[in-house]
Amino acid sequence: MILYVRENPALSLEEAVHKLTGLPAQRLGLKDRGHIVAGAMADVVIFDPDTIENRAALEKPAQYPRGIEYVLVNGKTVIEKGDRTANHPGSG
């Protein structure tokens, strides 16, 4: 996303987010995912588009990205102020 939105713009931020969220959910028939509406599963990522950066590499694949402040899965916070919480709502 960084390459095609910020560094070498081919998409708007809104188009990129849709291609990563709403479009795949629609194609897979997941009616309660990919958009923010009442009754949906509330999977939300809050990020800073100016600082978001993938830090994972082949040598260190488990590196967390930079610029993601909050992540909610099924409405429960799993990343808060950039740090993991004890919540695991997407497991099991």
- Same domain, yes or no: 25 and 52: no
- Same domain, yes or no: 25 and 57: no
- Same domain, yes or no: 46 and 10: no
For every residue of 7-71, DSSP letters joined together read IS-SS-HHHHHHHHTHHHHHHTT-TTSSS--TTS---EEEE-TTT-B----SS-TTPPPBSEEEE
**Residue pLDDT, tens place only, 38-60:** 988 889 999 999 999 989 999 99
- Same domain, yes or no: 73 and 47: yes
92 lies in some domain: no
9 lies in some domain: yes
91 lies in some domain: no
Is 76 in a helix, a strand, or coil? strand
52 lies in some domain: yes
**Residue pLDDT, tens place only, 5-39:** 888 889 999 999 999 999 999 999 999 999 898 98
Reported pTM: 0.81
Number of domains in the chain: 2
74 lies in some domain: yes
- Same domain, yes or no: 10 and 25: yes
User: Could you list the residue range(s) of the whole structural domain that residue 20 is in?
Assistant: 1-35
- Same domain, yes or no: 27 and 53: no
